[in-house]
């Protein structure tokens, strides 16, 4: 009987793979990948979510004498969207409102989920000769409550009519700059900048802007509102 010239080889079967370990590894990898995706996606999604803003004001905000689609909040929202911002601007303007009346309806005029508020109040206080200390107190409380709710604010100022006298004018106009500084909120000094006393940009009463006047207001205030929206988006990240 002839022997094989080849050495005897002990061939052992390879170890069977551990499917439990393989599955656990795949699961760990998938979990890590999901976490990375969520970390990258969620901040961006939150930042890009629609910013909900409220324009809290009087007839200048409400759009007295204008078609609904020509009111300041509507045109402001349109301008922001044209610039690529996902924003909704709620019209919370009530004709005839003073700062005190605006404060009285603040909670329901600025609903839960609001990200930013444009505060435009005080024109009627001035026209009625309300003591500036009363207007100041109401606006200060509005800012305090919005801050407490962690809502971003743009304060919009108003100027006093010359016929009220220099003393009243100084006391009234100082309200806005003082409160903006004290509460660390941005201030747009005069809502009617570029429109006041311009006959072609005001209605027959000489007080309320035409649709063309609103266009001027929106164009002038737009950079500051864009900054307000950007602050909301940065806060979300």
What is 51-236's CATH topology? Rossmann fold (3.40.50)
Q: Output the CA angle 80-83-87, nearest 5 degrees.
A: 35
Q: What is the mean pLDDT of residues 198-212?
A: 97
Contacting residues for 127 by C-beta, under 8 A, at least 6 apart: 161
Active site residue 205: yes
Catalytic residue among 59, 97, 109, 125: 59
Which of these is catalytic: 4, 18, 205, 215?
205
Q: Mean pLDDT across the stretch 160-178? A: 97
Residue 24: per-residue pLDDT: 56
Domain parsing of the chain, residue ranges: 51-236
Q: pLDDT of 4-24, one tens digit each?
A: 444 443 444 445 555 555 555
Counting residues of the chain whose pLDDT is more than 90, the rounded percentage is 78
Non-local CB neighbours of 96 within 8 Å, separated by 6+ positions:
58, 59, 124
Asked if pLDDT for residue 213 goes beyond 70, the answer is yes
* Residue entry with tokens 């001035």: 126
Nearest CA-CA partner of 63 in 178, 234, 218, 176:
218
pLDDT attached to residue 236: 84
The whole-model pTM stands at 0.81
Q: What local confidence, expressed as pLDDT, does residue 28 receive?
A: 60
| Residue 95 annotated as catalytic | no
Q: Which residues contact 43 (CB under 8 A, 6 or more apart)?
A: 236, 237
pLDDT of residue 70: 98
Is a pLDDT exceeding 50 seen at residue 91?
A: yes
Q: Which of 97, 109, 125, 208 is labelled catalytic?
A: 208
* 40, burial (CB in 10 Å: exposed 0-12, middle 13-18, buried 19+): exposed
Task: Note the pLDDT of residue 111.
Answer: 97
187 within 8 A of 176, measured Cβ to Cβ = yes
């Amino acid at each position: 009987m002839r022997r094989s010239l080849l050495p005897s080889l002990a061939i052992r079967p390879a170890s069977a793979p551990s499917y439990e370990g393989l599955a656990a590894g795949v699961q760990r990898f998938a979990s890590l990948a999901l976490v990375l995706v969520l970390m990258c996606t969620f901040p961006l999604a939150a930042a890009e979510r629609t910013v909900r803003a409220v324009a809290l004001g009087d007839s200048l905000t409400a759009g007295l004498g204008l078609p609904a689609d020509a009111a300041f909040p509507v045109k402001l929202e349109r301008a922001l969207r044209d610039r690529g911002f996902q924003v909704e601007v709620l019209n919370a303007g009530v004709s005839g409102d003073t700062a005190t009346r605006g404060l009285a309806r603040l909670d329901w005029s600025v609903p839960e989920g609001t990200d930013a508020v444009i505060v435009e109040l005080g024109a009627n206080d001035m026209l009625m000769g309300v003591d500036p200390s009363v207007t100041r107190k109401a606006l200060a409380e509005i800012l305090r409550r919005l801050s407490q709710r962690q809502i971003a604010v743009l304060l919009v100022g108003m100027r006093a009519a010359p016929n009220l006298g220099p003393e009243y004018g100084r006391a009234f106009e100082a309200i806005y700059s003082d409160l903006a500084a004290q509460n660390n909120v941005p201030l747009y000094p005069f809502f009617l900048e570029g429109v006041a006393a311009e006959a072609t940009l005001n209605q027959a009463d000489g007080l309320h802007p035409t649709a063309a006047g609103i266009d001027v207001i929106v164009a002038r205030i737009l950079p500051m509102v864009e900054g307000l929206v950007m602050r909301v988006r940065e806060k979300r990240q």
